[in-house]
Structure 1
Amino acid sequence: MPEALRPWITGVRTSPRAGPAEDAFVRLPDASTKVVLRVTADGHRDVLALGPRVRASYHDGNATASCVELRLAPGAARPLLGVPVADLVGRAVPLDALPGSAARRLASGLRWLDTDEVVPYLSETLPELLPATAESSRTALLLAGVEALSVRGDRAPAQVRDVAHELAVSERQLRNLFTDGVGVSPKHYTRIDRVRTVLTRASTAPWSEVAAGTGYYDQSHMTSDFRALMGVPPRSYFTGRLPATTPCRAGARG
């Protein structure tokens, strides 16, 4: 991904069209907001805004759409989409149905692009649509908060009160900043990030070490958070004892 896009987009992922499959798949909890260009098997195209997901969902494996998924940077979603990100939690909304003029223009520009045309188009268009996002003090505060509340390597996330103190804002101000720019509270952001880290580390260390390394008080605290967000405790998830699946609707696999 070009360096010029990093103030607005933290990742680009493509998924090829697939026919009916027997395996189920999971959409993981995800605190990010995405823009998705989706092309169905019959050629229908749409561009969606996918809000944060606060809990996992399980689906049967019958997706028949190819997608290009753009993961928006913290602070970029609000000026692009024209609504507080909290309004999009758990939702998939047509991008051109949102009030932001930038969203409508982006939807129009992305809709008919081939996969390899998406990144060059964004490199040319996003700096014009959102020229001030990377420089705003509000965005800088949000990015600093996200960094401090995320698991990074061997560093566990900081406590919300400590992050607020370090950024010289009240906990209420920090919560409002996250609700508007990320869509979830700082506490829930940390829960999502921790559980996603557990998912990546579970096969590399004992449960007690995974819990300590991701900032949980103990293993039972980790299990409680994991169950709340994933629907099953860690051992059940990793041995394939999953909740019942539901049909997959709009959006891309999580």
Structure 2
Amino acid sequence: MTTASVDGAPRAPFTHVPDPVTRVVVRTEPSGRRDVLVIGPRTRASYHPSKHLDSCVQLRLRAGTARPLLGVPAVDLVGRAIPLGDLPSAHARRLAAGLLPLEPESVVPHLAEVLPGRLAPPDDSRAALLRRALAAMSPDPDDGRPPESVGESAHGLGVSERQLRNLFAEDVGVSPKHYARIARVRHILTRRSPAMSWAELAVSTGYYDQSHMTADFRALMGVPPASFFTGRLPAVQPCQAFGRA
């Protein structure tokens, strides 16, 4: 699990990039209103006008911890933002009740204190399998190894493709194929360099060619890579806090 904190107003507009991670967010508005949300995995980018918050603390949940902590499989959270206290798990309701009255600087210490006792003991074999699958289907920035296909990953892990899909639905929220697409696009967002041509970037990220990369990037980000990196973004949309994507 990792945490991140934001104070003050973000730059306008801001982009929510595709993200296969479930998050718990504690935010305080200028009016003093505070809420605790569960934000499910994002399958596509969205673009929004800036919104001023006095504070925002975000906890990114490691894959496989959504069900023991929140009481629901990750697939049920995809594209959704839900008040933490509305989830069925007693763990989730107690966590929400404990977080709501806290000042922002107390959120992270509180989480560090209470979360270990509220997470079910991990299934080490399942967790290890998931870690290996996630690594296999993600580009490796260190050695330039392209990600494996779903079939290659399943074979290398000694499981069927169906077993792999079920594992990802439960513990990640998206299919292995869509996870790989998100991982490749996020790799482009973080590794793009003027010194590397689009064609070189495409091959190093695991695409067949530049046109394959452009089509995939456009599908998830709403614009092709060249447009995104020169600031030609889609029109902003109001945030829909409790909708389903």
Name which of structure 1's ranges 138-147 and 182-191 shifts more when overlaid on structure 2.
138-147
Match of 1:138 in 2: 126
Q: Output the amino acid matched with 2:49.
A: D
> Is the contact made by 1:37 and 1:110 (CA closer than 8 Å) also made in structure 2?
yes
Number of residues of Structure 1 aligned to a counterpart in Structure 2: 239
CA displacement, residues 13-38 of structure 1 (integer Å, 9 cap, x when unaligned) = 1111328x6x2111101111000001
Distance 2:241 2:9 in 1: 15
Q: Output the amino acid matched with 1:143.
A: R
Distance 1:35 1:174 in 2: 26
> Is the contact made by 2:146 and 2:206 (CA closer than 8 Å) also made in structure 1?
yes
Alignment of 1:140-179 (within 5 A): 140-153=128-141, 154-179=144-169
Match of 1:29 in 2: 18
Name which of structure 1's ranges 106-115 and 165-174 shifts more when overlaid on structure 2.
106-115
1:131 Cα offset (Å): 4.1
Q: Output the amino acid matched with 1:157.
A: P
Over the aligned positions, Cα root-mean-square deviation in angstroms equals 1.7
CA displacement, residues 153-200 of structure 1 (integer Å, 9 cap, x when unaligned) = 222211211111122110011001101111100000010010011011
1:199 aligned onto 2:189: yes
Distance 2:132 2:87 in 1: 28
Cα gap change, 1:131 to 1:179, in 2 (>3 Å)? closer
> Is the contact made by 2:151 and 2:161 (CA closer than 8 Å) also made in structure 1?
yes
1:224 aligned onto 2:212: no
Distance 2:108 2:42 in 1: 25
Q: Return the match for 1:113 from 82, 88, 102.
A: 102
1:247 Cα offset (Å): 1.9
CA displacement, residues 135-163 of structure 1 (integer Å, 9 cap, x when unaligned) = 44222222221121112222221121111
CA displacement, residues 46-90 of structure 1 (integer Å, 9 cap, x when unaligned) = 110000011101111233352100000010112111111111111
> Is the contact made by 1:17 and 1:41 (CA closer than 8 Å) also made in structure 2?
no
Name which of structure 1's ranges 83-92 and 58-67 shifts more when overlaid on structure 2.
58-67
Q: Output the amino acid matched with 2:37.
A: L
Q: Output the amino acid matched with 1:80.
A: L
1:95 aligned onto 2:88: no
Q: Output the amino acid matched with 1:214.
A: T
1:226 Cα offset (Å): 0.1
Q: Secondary structure at the match of 2:75?
A: helix
Distance 1:237 1:119 in 2: 34
Q: Secondary structure at the match of 2:232?
A: coil
Q: Secondary structure at the match of 1:16?
A: strand
> Is the contact made by 1:231 and 1:243 (CA closer than 8 Å) also made in structure 2?
yes
Name which of structure 1's ranges 160-169 and 216-225 shifts more when overlaid on structure 2.
160-169
TM-score for the superposition, normalised by structure 1: 0.89
> Is the contact made by 1:18 and 1:66 (CA closer than 8 Å) also made in structure 2?
no
Distance 1:157 1:62 in 2: 36
Name which of structure 1's ranges 82-91 and 185-194 shifts more when overlaid on structure 2.
82-91
Alignment of 1:63-82 (within 5 A): 63-82=52-71
Unaligned runs of 5+ in 2: none
